[in-house]
């Protein structure tokens, strides 16, 4: 097992000692308010756009490429906002929200590693949807496998990701990219 090497040893998350390997809902909300990674750095979106309820595991080793992994979950409830409008009498979670959750998690990983700046999705090379999330389902699980972190003018993460509903894989994304920008 390799030892942790931060992207920036002076990053607020590293200095504060709040770098953990799991985060609950209240901690994710705190991140959305800018309290986890420091002013001007990565934030998660707040509800209703926050697309997971907890991070079960975040580690800088492991995953398919042994470069780091994140596992997060979203509890499915019939009253979730998107079921009310997408679509009437045919409620389904929009696929773009699952994809956005994957990007959210990659950005979180970069900041958790000590990367500074505001996170922005930069794309991906292939996205597949083979199923859907409906109100009768119980749980979505996201699995993010980091492939590479590039540190140049910006910090960029490259990852493969999957989304499962009740244990069945229904989304896959390859070469998903997120950057942290210090100047916007």
pLDDT at 159 over 60: yes
What confidence score (pLDDT) does residue 1 get?
Answer: 43
CB-CB neighbours of 100 under 10 Å: 16
86 as an active site residue: the answer is yes
Q: How many domains does the chain have?
A: 1
Options 21, 33, 65, 86, the catalytic residue? 86
pLDDT at 137 over 60: yes
9's torsion region: left (phi>0), alpha (psi -120 to 50) or beta? alpha
What confidence score (pLDDT) does residue 165 get?
Answer: 99
Does some domain include residue 85? yes
Does some domain include residue 5? no
For residue 121, the enclosing domain spans: 12-181
CATH of the domain at 161: 3.10.129.10
pLDDT at 9 over 70: yes
Angle (CA) 132 172 97, round 5°: 55
Does some domain include residue 164? yes
Does some domain include residue 7? no
Q: Which SS3 state, helix, strand or coil, does residue 155 take?
A: strand
What confidence score (pLDDT) does residue 19 get?
Answer: 85
Does some domain include residue 1? no
Does some domain include residue 170? yes
Query: d(Cα 28, Cα 17) in Å, to the nearest integer?
Result: 16
Instruction: Name the E strands within the chain.
Output: 54-59, 69-75, 118-123, 126-129, 139-151, 155-165, 168-181
């Amino acid at each position: 097992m390799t030892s942790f090497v931060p992207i920036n040893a002076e990053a607020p998350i590293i200095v504060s000692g709040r770098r953990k390997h799991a985060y609950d809902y209240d901690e994710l909300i705190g991140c959305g308010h800018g309290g986890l990674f420091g002013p001007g750095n990565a934030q998660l979106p707040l509800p209703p756009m926050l697309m997971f309820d907890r991070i079960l595991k975040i580690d800088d080793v492991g995953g398919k490429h042994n470069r780091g992994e994140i596992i997060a979950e979203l509890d499915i409830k019939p009253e979730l906002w998107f079921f009310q409008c997408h679509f009437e009498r045919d409620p389904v979670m929009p696929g773009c929200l699952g994809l956005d959750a994957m990007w959210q998690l990659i950005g979180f990983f970069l900041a958790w590693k000590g990367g500074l700046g505001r996170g922005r999705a930069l794309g991906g090379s292939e996205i597949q949807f083979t199923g859907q999330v409906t109100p009768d389902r119980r749980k979505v699980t996201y699995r993010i496998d980091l492939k590479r972190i590039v540190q140049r003018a910006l910090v960029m993460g490259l990852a493969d990701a999957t989304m499962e509903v009740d244990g069945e894989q229904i989304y896959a994304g390859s070469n998903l990219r997120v950057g942290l920008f210090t100047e916007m």
